[in-house]
């Protein structure tokens, strides 16, 4: 993050703007809208600026900028076409410890103006850190379309009743839940429909019926294979409702960051021969946290019911009568195959697909290998990197052709995705040379040969 987004209270505060052209007029509108005590220094005013000055109260010094002009300012903006003047303004502001913005010169800025969606008192600021103002404006237009003008009324409604809700909610968590019921429920819809009296009545009923924290709940959420854009809407909604998030090693940190800022994050990930929290303890922890009244998001890579031990985790919840929801995610088998351009089924190559664990126990894989011999079935091995040699050896020994195509996909759906392709007889040597790291997924079958034609993502 190159610039930290903050909101400044500028009402009645001295701000200096050097320049009075078209660009300066845009900045002046922002500053005057925020109630700043604005002083403008410029030899001449543009037509737009003159019109703005006639509508608002500001001080204009009709002369060039000079050293010392910034002595009383708390904020400075330079918007002249003269680079040397802008640099002089930047030097003085910096020497005085005053935040300064030099228009179209990110290297001379200690702060920048974001693109703003104004639904005062609600405001949304979008910034590209100066890299692409056009992109920031494009994002702003999309957000504006999502937020009706009456959204401001919801914020004002909350402002009016903040003290009342603070009296009813004994704790911060309790108050947050009340606010969520207001903002995400029928009260907000009444406000958007300009039915304030009905909204007031609904709020009174909500607060009169409030009985403290509701019982806790657990959300078992499939986070998908890694790409945050593959999360479902429901997964994101529940994740942002959670008070605490328990997440695995395979969950992308960007997905964990989608949780509420004030939510606790607890890493309970497991890797081979290194379980930071034993599975039994995770199961117990979900129960304990829910019994404390917390909403708990259990984030698991891929889909929680496909080699994810999700069934084990909710079994204890069911026994203890803890409410829970399960949100499916895109399992790694589907995602890795799609991102590698390998259809798991195809009319000409494979009429079925089988998901198989590749996790070894005591150096062995305990499968009925004789069931894996169909040339028209795709085999997908999860967690098979360590057991690759066993997989290839056993399939060949039980009758699969050594020339059967094999793909190993490393870190599927991430920018670091890599695809290694060979056959049952050659893939081990390729892997030994490339040294891929977990997470990986192995696909065996004729459909692997389609990757040349259909592959669209990643390298390798």
Burial class (CB in 10 A: 0-12, 13-18, 19+), 352: exposed
Q: In what order do the strands lie in the sheet with 264-267?
A: 264-267, 244-247, 295-300, 217-222, 324-327
Q: Residues 6 or more apart from 84 whose CB is under 8 A from it?
A: none
Q: Rounded distance, CA 190 to CA 201, Å?
A: 10
State the catalytic residue, choosing from 153, 248, 294, 300.
248
The tokens for 275 are 């379980």
CA proximity to 35, closest of 53, 5, 11, 7? 11
Is 434 annotated to bind a ligand? Reply is no
Q: Rounded distance, CA 288 to CA 301, Å?
A: 23
Asked about 270 being catalytic, the answer comes back as yes
Is 262 annotated to bind a ligand? Reply is no
The tokens for 110 are 């200690």
Q: Tokens 């967690």 correspond to what residue?
A: 383
- Residue 133 · residue 115 · CB < 8 Å: yes
451 — phi, psi (to 5°)? -60, -35
Is 301 annotated to bind a ligand? Reply is yes
The tokens for 103 are 């228009």
Q: Residues 6 or more apart from 43 whose CB is under 8 A from it?
A: 62, 63, 64
Angstrom distances, CA of residue 143 to CA of 124, 151, 189, 385 = 9, 12, 19, 44
State the catalytic residue, choosing from 46, 118, 270, 446.
270
Is 146 annotated to bind a ligand? Reply is no
The tokens for 447 are 């459909």
Residue 109 neighbours by CB distance under 10 Å: 20
Burial class (CB in 10 A: 0-12, 13-18, 19+), 435: exposed
Q: Rounded distance, CA 19 to CA 440, Å?
A: 58
Is 1 annotated to bind a ligand? Reply is no
Asked about 248 being catalytic, the answer comes back as yes
- Residue 15 · residue 79 · CB < 8 Å: no
Is 242 annotated to bind a ligand? Reply is no
Q: In 3-state terms, what secondary structure has residue 362?
A: coil
Is 302 annotated to bind a ligand? Reply is yes
Is 44 annotated to bind a ligand? Reply is yes
Q: Rounded distance, CA 254 to CA 60, Å?
A: 48
Is 23 annotated to bind a ligand? Reply is yes
Residue 85 neighbours by CB distance under 10 Å: 18
Is 306 annotated to bind a ligand? Reply is yes
Q: Rounded distance, CA 102 to CA 19, Å?
A: 11
Is 263 annotated to bind a ligand? Reply is no
- Residue 14 · residue 37 · CB < 8 Å: yes
The tokens for 135 are 């992109």
293: which DSSP letter? T
- The annotated binding site is made up of 22-23, 43-44, 225, 301-303, 306, 331-332, 383, 412
- The annotated binding site for S-adenosyl-L-methionine is made up of 225, 301-303, 306, 331-332, 383, 412
- The annotated binding site for NAD(+) is made up of 22-23, 43-44
Active site positions, annotated:
248, 270
């Amino acid at each position: 993050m190159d610039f930290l987004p903050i909101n400044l209270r500028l009402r009645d505060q001295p701000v200096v703007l050097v320049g009075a052209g078209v660009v300066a007029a845009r900045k002046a509108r922002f500053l005057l809208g925020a109630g700043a005590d604005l002083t403008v220094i410029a030899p001449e005013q543009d037509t737009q600026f003159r019109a703005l000055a006639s509508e608002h109260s500001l001080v204009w010094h009709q002369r060039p900028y000079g050293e010392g002009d910034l002595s009383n300012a708390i904020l400075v903006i330079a918007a002249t076409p003269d680079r040397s003047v802008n640099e002089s303004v930047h030097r003085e502001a910096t020497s005085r410890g005053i935040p300064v913005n030099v228009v179209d010169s990110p290297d001379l800025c200690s702060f920048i103006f974001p693109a703003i969606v104004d639904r005062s008192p609600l405001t949304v600021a979008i910034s590209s850190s100066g890299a692409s103002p056009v992109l920031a404006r494009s994002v702003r237009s999309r957000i504006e379309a999502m937020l009706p003008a009456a959204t401001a009324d919801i914020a004002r409604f909350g402002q009016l009743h903040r003290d009342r809700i603070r009296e009813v909610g004994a704790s911060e968590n309790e108050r947050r839940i009340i606010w969520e019921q207001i903002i995400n429920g029928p009260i907000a819809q009444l406000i958007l429909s300009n039915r304030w009296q009905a909204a007031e009545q609904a709020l009174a009923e909500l607060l009169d019926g409030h009985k403290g924290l509701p019982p806790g709940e657990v959300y078992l959420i499939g986070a998908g294979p890694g790409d945050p854009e593959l999360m479902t809407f429901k997964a994101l909604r529940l994740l942002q409702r959670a008070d605490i998030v328990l997440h695995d090693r395979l969950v992308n940190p960007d997905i964990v960051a989608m949780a509420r800022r004030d939510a606790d994050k607890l890493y309970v990930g497991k890797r081979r021969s290194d379980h930071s929290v034993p599975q039994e303890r995770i199961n117990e922890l979900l129960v304990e946290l829910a019994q404390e009244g917390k909403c708990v998001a259990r984030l698991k890579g891929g889909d929680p019911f496909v080699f994810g031990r999700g069934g084990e985790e909710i079994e204890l919840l069911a026994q203890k009568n803890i409410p829970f929801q399960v949100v499916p995610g895109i399992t790694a088998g589907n995602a890795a195959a799609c991102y590698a351009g390998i259809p798991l089924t195809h009319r000409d190559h494979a009429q079925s697909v089988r998901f198989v664990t590749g996790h070894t126990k005591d150096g062995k894989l305990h499968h009925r290998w004789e069931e894996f011999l169909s040339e028209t079935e795709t085999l997908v091995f999860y967690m098979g990197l360590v057991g690759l040699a066993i997989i290839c050896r056993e399939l060949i020994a039980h009758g699969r052709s050594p020339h059967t195509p094999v793909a190993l996909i490393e870190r599927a759906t991430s920018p670091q995705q890599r695809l290694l392709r060979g056959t049952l007889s050659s893939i081990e040597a390729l892997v030994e040379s490339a040294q891929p790291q977990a997470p990986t997924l192995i696909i065996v079958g004729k459909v692997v040969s389609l990757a040349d034609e259909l592959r669209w993502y990643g390298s390798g």
